[in-house]
Structures are given as structure tokens and as C-alpha cells.
Amino acid sequence: MLNAFEDFRRRLKFAQSITNPQGLISSFSHSDLITCKKSKQGRIVFNIGNNKYRMICGYLFKTNACILFIKFVGTHKEYDKIDACNVNMFK
């Protein structure tokens, strides 16, 4: 599992200059943009390790930075049991 996340982290390090969610999605083809209707916030779901793991992130884009807030990390099976818009396992 650590190898999959380490590889993902290395790739993400080079995506810091991305300025919008669509740019992040195009850089990581195995990801999805979710719009949460109640909170009007977006989240990005990354498929990691050949879709074995999922990571849900909130995001904030600044002039020269993309900041991701990790909300959930788990297996695909664990992901299927949660609400991507409401989960925050690190609170």
C-alpha cells in the first residue's frame, strides 16, 4: 500500500502549479471531480494503486499553489460505504 501512495505523492508534487480542479483531473486521469450540492464545495476522488485504494480531497487553489485537504483514505470497498461529500476521517 505504501508504494502506491508514495508513487502518487511523487506525481502530485509536480502538479503544484495547477490552477483549477479541471487541470488536476486532466493531470490525474484516474480521478473524479465531485460537486457537493449542500455545501457547494467540490471534492476530488483519486483512484490509487490500480483502483485498489481511494483518496478523497477537498481543495483550494491559490495563485501559485494547489492545496489538497485529505478527507478520506481507504480501500475501494471502504469507499463504497461512505458519503464522499460528508466524510472527514481526520477530524
Confirm whether 57 is domain-assigned.
yes
Confirm whether 30 is domain-assigned.
yes
What is the per-residue pLDDT across 26-53, written as a single tens digit (0 to 9) for each?
Answer: 888 889 999 998 878 889 999 988 889 9
Q: What is the mean pLDDT of residues 71-79?
A: 94
Of residues 65 and 75, more confidence is placed in: 75
Confirm whether 23 is domain-assigned.
yes
Structural domain that includes position 26: 2-79
Percent of the chain topping pLDDT 70: 93
Residue 53, H or E segment? strand 53-62
CB-CB contact of 67 with 59 (8 Å): yes
Confirm whether 91 is domain-assigned.
no
Confirm whether 85 is domain-assigned.
no
Cell numbers linked to 85? 461529500
Confirm whether 88 is domain-assigned.
no
Mean pLDDT over the full length of the chain: 85
8, amino acid identity: F
Q: What is the pLDDT of residue 16?
A: 64
**Residue 69 burial (CB count, 10 A):** 12
The rounded distance, in Å, linking the Cα atoms of 67 and 57 is 9
Q: What is the pLDDT of residue 75?
A: 94
Domains in the chain, number: 1
Residue 58's Cα: distance from chain center in Å? 7
Confirm whether 89 is domain-assigned.
no
